[in-house]
Structure 1
Amino acid sequence: MRAISYDQYGTPDDVLTVGELPDPKVGPGEALVEVRSVGINPVDWKLVGGGLDPLMEVRFPVVPGWDVSGVVRAVGPDTPEVAVGDEVLAYARKDWVQAGTLAELVTVPARALARKPAEVDFDRAAALPLVGLTAARTLIDHLHVGEGDVVLVHNAAGGVGRLGVQIARELGAARVIGTASEANHDRLRELGAEPVTYGEGLAERVRGLAPEGVDAVADFVGGVWEVTQAVLREGGRHASIADHGEPAVADHIVWVRPDGERLAWLAGLAADGRLEIDVAGVHEGLESVPAAFAENERGHGGGKLVVRVSTD
């Protein structure tokens, strides 16, 4: 199979190469997925630079990429959950860093797979898994958002935040306040949030909207613990995907997990028009991966970036 890979740490332009690698073996409880599209996340290019080396086992050569949409081409023994020809999506992170999704083929454990609804195209499906599951895990498992809650979402215009706003409303939140630059305020209003501009005076602006404080804070950016403290009502809940260095947040850190059942729920919401997946741009072919990584690292507005690996 063709894949993009690296055999040492470095910058994407210096160490990523496109070439032939052996086709993956399909073990018990796994499916072989012919890759259509891959969502790009900051963790992808951070891995290339060795960003997770202290945390996860790495086996070179590494194919990057954790998000995927595609078509099942084979199944391993005892894998009744899917069949050849099924269109699927997955957050395909394994327990070690090696066999990622930026390739023509990837094996995915059945527990991570969800069937792709016909109403959701491959590009939007590939843009959903990591950010959607991160937002859902934060709001459901850590914050227990429910009917009547007032929720503050830090970085509401980011990839996780956009979905977090919508999921919070789906869970019954009465109000969702989202921090973002003014350029993204109109889009956040369309998604169901009350936008506030981040920066100096943020706590006062949030308090102006919610004088009695908010019930839950979802931190999707980091470095905002003081603001969270200032606006969270007594007994309120908070969780962060980024503030690993803040001792007061240590017991409220979110690390997303592969979860096919929850991903199927999110994909169903998207199919029903209740969850909008914003795709900022599509890069064509494995050769475009370094450019996609660079664009993601620079930051961009409008949603997720996707690499389209194949269309057949």
Structure 2
Amino acid sequence: MRVLIATDAWRPQINGVVRSLEYMAAEAPRFGAEVVFLTPERFRSVPMPTYPEIRLSLVMPGSLAGILEETRPTHVHIATEGPIGLATRLTCARQGRAFTTSYHTRFPEYVAARTKIPEAWCYQALKRFHRAARAMMVSTPSLERELTGRGFENIMRWTRGVDTALFRPRNERILDAAAPVFLYVGRVAVEKNLDAFLSFDLPGTKVVVGDGPSRVELGRRYPEARFLGALTGEDLARVYASSDVFVFPSLTDTFGIVLIEALASGLPIAAFPVTGPLDVIGASGCGVLDADLRVAALAALDIPRDRCRAYGETFTWHESARQFFSNIEKAHSGR
């Protein structure tokens, strides 16, 4: 199996889509598969309006026919609905080539947060985009139910994993900050609802790891919080292990890989009872989900760290990759 994955999300972006795809490529040989990426690295690009850190590729569908001929994939997977995803979809349709897709991001909510475009219009466009696929992969049961209710079809489940060797409890605490430390990791942007975390009163210290278009404004409005910028690898893992509670204020994430990174690091979760946290935390007892995020954050302090670590270890990239490649095979075989 030689899988071409077309994605608009790619390095140097730091997000769950990029991380998931990188791990799929790393695990592919275990499943007799090879992954070839079609990314913005192949094309000229321009900054996305309102979010210049993300680049939009200038790609014409005609140019992709040669790329498909060059790479000779047995399967095509379209990971995002951006310019590369759209061009790949159109090229596959013209060639009569089957493909699968995945639904990673709530674009309707993100677009509505920045513009006056109604969510319903965006959902109609997304339905048209994914309807032509043999299957659309989603990360959680609650997201599957929601999208089914909106008229999406041919849905398959694809969970996520965590590197438990990197993200683990540690004895050292590298943060020079008053305890308890309440941590957020992710994009610093309007759709992440960070005001819901930064605006309420908590003991100790609030720490934000990540970057994005709202960082300067939020830093000005909440000078008592610590903004560490974007971190990866060992630097990020050490910050997780130096914190006490992971606070996840997003109302729109479809999964939240940072949730299981935190759990693997021994951190309990405080979040709203919405898609993502509901699916990841479930009845594990490793987090508190409450409409009052401050109540959840304080209550999460009482959750044992070893319980969180044990639960975090149940999420593996090997199982995520098994589902991913199995879904592709089943979708193309019609099983």
Give the TM-score of the pair, scaled to structure 1: 0.29
Structure with bigger RCO (C-alpha 8 Å, 6+ apart): 1
Give the TM-score of the pair, scaled to structure 2: 0.27
Select the structure that is richer in helix.
2
Select the structure that is richer in strand.
1
